[in-house]
Amino acid sequence: TTWLATRQSSLVVDPSNGRVPVKPSAEAQRDYDFAHLEDSYEHHTSWERCITRGVPAGMFPAGYNNAYQILQTPGYVVILSEMIHEVRAIPLDGRPHLPPSVRQWNGDSVGHWEGDTLVVDTANYNGKGMIATSAATARIRGIHESAKLHVVERFKRVDANTISYEVTIDDANVFSAPWKVSLALIKDTNYRIYE
């Protein structure tokens, strides 16, 4: 597991205390949803509804099925997530984001290389998702995103079997400040993703 390999006490590395700066209003909405799970499907996370784990939520560790397959093709990087079998096709051709009128559950991702680091910028969220959906994410599970969410991911290969993954999350409607997660993605040649 990541925290054993890196000896991090928290996947949240900024702020340095390891606590996500969630606004009280966002925590109140999450608490309300969890108290009303039996009233409507709308109070469940998008993962429980089998819609999406989300971006970046899909990259955060969950209780099971934590595998990712990362492929590079001409002009794209593709990330296949085992959980919900989602595929992100991230263009690398310098295109801008889609117009702000086009909003998506997982936002609109565009990428570019900064030296040997893949930088993926995601905007244009529809505000219906959650920043984290797995119970493994503890107090941020079920925190709603807003349409202002902006995510910047950095993927850097640090050795033959390890990719350093860092993500900065900025959503002024939900968090009092931007925050950052860092974890290691470890290659496992024996692991298989099944249908």
- pLDDT, tens digit, 9 for 90 and up, residues 104-158: 999 999 999 999 999 999 999 999 998 887 777 788 888 999 999 999 999 999 9
Say what the pLDDT of residue 154 is. 98
* All residues at 6 or more sequence positions from 86 whose CB lies less than 8 Å from its CB, including other chains: 52, 53, 58, 80, 106
Question: What percent of the chain is helix, strand and coil (3-state, nearest 5)?
Answer: 15, 35, 50
Say what the pLDDT of residue 6 is. 60
Cβ atoms 92, 111 nearer than 8 A: yes
Q: How far apart are CA 2 and CA 5, in angstroms?
A: 5
**Stretch among 2-11, 18-27, 42-51 having the lowest mean pLDDT:** 2-11
Say what the pLDDT of residue 63 is. 79
**For 143, which DSSP code?**
P
Cβ atoms 172, 22 nearer than 8 A: no
Cβ atoms 90, 120 nearer than 8 A: yes
Top pLDDT among 8 and 99 is at 99
Say what the pLDDT of residue 37 is. 84
* 40-96 residue pLDDT tens: 888 888 878 888 888 998 898 887 888 899 999 999 999 999 888 889 999 999 999
Helix or strand (DSSP H, E) at 88:
strand 86-91
Q: How far apart are CA 126 and CA 188, in angstroms?
A: 34
pLDDT higher than threshold 80 for residue 29: yes
Residue 163 corresponds to which tokens in the numbers above? 């990719």
pLDDT higher than threshold 70 for residue 97: yes
**18 pLDDT band (50/70/90 cuts)?**
very high
Say what the pLDDT of residue 148 is. 96
Which among 116, 117, 131 is positioned nearest to 175, based on CA atoms?
A: 131
